[in-house]
Structure 1
Amino acid sequence: MATDERARVAVRKAIAAAPDRIQRHDPTLARLLRETIRTGASCRYDPDPGRPVTWLLDPPRSGA
C-alpha cells in the first residue's frame, strides 16, 4: 500500500471514530457529524442547507 493510501485510510478511520467518542458527551452533535461528514478520496463536511447549524465554539460568558 502506498504512503498516500495509508494516510488516507488512517484519516478516514480517525474521522469515523470521532463521533463515537463525541457520542458520550453530546449525542446530538455526534449524530450531526455522522450525517454530514463524508470520506473517500477527499474528506468534507457537507451540511444539509435545509437544516442550518449555528456553531458556538466557546460557551457564552455570563455578563457579556
Structure 2
Amino acid sequence: MKSYDELKAEMEAIQQQMAEAKKNERTVALKKVKELCKEFGFAAGMLKDSLAEGRKNQ
C-alpha cells in the first residue's frame, strides 16, 4: 500500500495534468468558436444574451 505522502504527490501531479489539459482544451474550443462565428457571421452582440446565461449557470 502506498503511503499518504506518495498518494498526495500523485494527486497533485494529476491535478496539475488536469489543469494543463483543461487549458489546452479551452484554447481549442475558443479557436473553434471563433471559426464558427466567422463562418456564420455571428457578432459579439448577437451572442451577448447566450453568454450571460452561461455565466449565470456557473
Range class of TM-score, shorter chain:
0.3 to 0.5
Answer 1 or 2: higher relative contact order, Cα 8 Å, separation at least 6. 1
TM-score (ref. length: structure 1): 0.40
Higher strand share: 1
Larger radius of gyration: 2
Higher helix share: 2
